[in-house]
């Protein structure tokens, strides 16, 4: 018999099939979840592994600051519109005085006063636009929005303090209420931006 005969008992043993790799075709060990290829696992919703991470929620104080910004913008818009009507009325009265009595000092004072009132009206409307912008950007803005809102709140609180001083001198209850409102609104805005949760919200990563 030749060694090439597969039935030769004296020949070399036939080649054996390759041994399977450990664990191949067998269930994984219990309690050890399979890892993703090349990517770390991320926490997800319960019952759904490797799902997207839940988005962060806006801190409560930042949300309150956002609501106050919208309230302040509404007050500023109403105030600006009232000032515009006041400037127009004063200007019409000055023109009527010129028609009745000719050019005189009172008419000039009226025109100048109407111009000053108009400037304050435009300032109020500009601040209203800023308040709305800060409120809208609070959800997606970064450190620039945070710093601007903080400075805005501090300046608003300072204006409230000035009104409070004037109210104390004139003993005006209405001015006192306005002063306390501005101090409270400005203080909440500034505090929301200074707290660790507020700083972390505006410093969070964005995808």
The predicted pLDDT at position 96 comes to: 80
In angstroms, the CA 36 to CA 14 distance is 40
pTM of the complete model beyond 0.85: no
Q: Which of 191, 207, 156, 157 is nearest to 60 (CA)?
A: 191
Q: Give yes or no for residue 151 having a pLDDT over 90.
A: yes
pLDDT band at 12 (very low <50, low <70, confident <90, very high): low
The predicted pLDDT at position 52 comes to: 43
Percent share of the chain, pLDDT over 90:
40
Q: Which of 154, 149, 138 is nearest to 202 (CA)?
A: 138
The predicted pLDDT at position 72 comes to: 94
The predicted pLDDT at position 150 comes to: 95
Q: Give yes or no for residue 75 having a pLDDT over 90.
A: yes
């Amino acid at each position: 018999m030749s060694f090439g005969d597969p039935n030769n008992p004296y020949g070399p043993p036939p080649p054996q099939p390759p041994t399977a790799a450990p664990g191949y075709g067998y269930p994984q060990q219990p309690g050890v979840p399979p890892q993703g290829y090349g990517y770390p696992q991320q926490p997800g919703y319960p019952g759904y592994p490797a799902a997207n991470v839940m988005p962060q929620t806006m801190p409560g104080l930042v949300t309150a600051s956002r609501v106050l910004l919208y309230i302040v913008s509404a007050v500023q818009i109403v105030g600006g519109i009232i000032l515009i009507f006041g400037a127009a009325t004063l200007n019409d009265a000055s023109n009527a005085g010129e028609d009745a009595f000719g050019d005189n000092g009172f008419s000039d004072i009226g025109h100048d006063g109407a111009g000053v009132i108009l400037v304050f009206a435009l300032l109020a409307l500009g601040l209203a636009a800023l308040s709305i912008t800060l409120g809208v950007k609070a959800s997606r803005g970064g450190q620039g929005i945070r710093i601007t809102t903080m400075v805005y709140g501090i300046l608003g609180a300072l204006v409230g303090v000035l009104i409070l001083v004037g109210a104390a001198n004139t003993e005006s209850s209405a001015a006192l209420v306005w002063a306390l409102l501005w101090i409270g609104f400005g203080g909440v805005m500034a505090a929301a931006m200074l707290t660790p949760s507020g700083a972390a919200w505006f410093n969070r990563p964005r995808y």
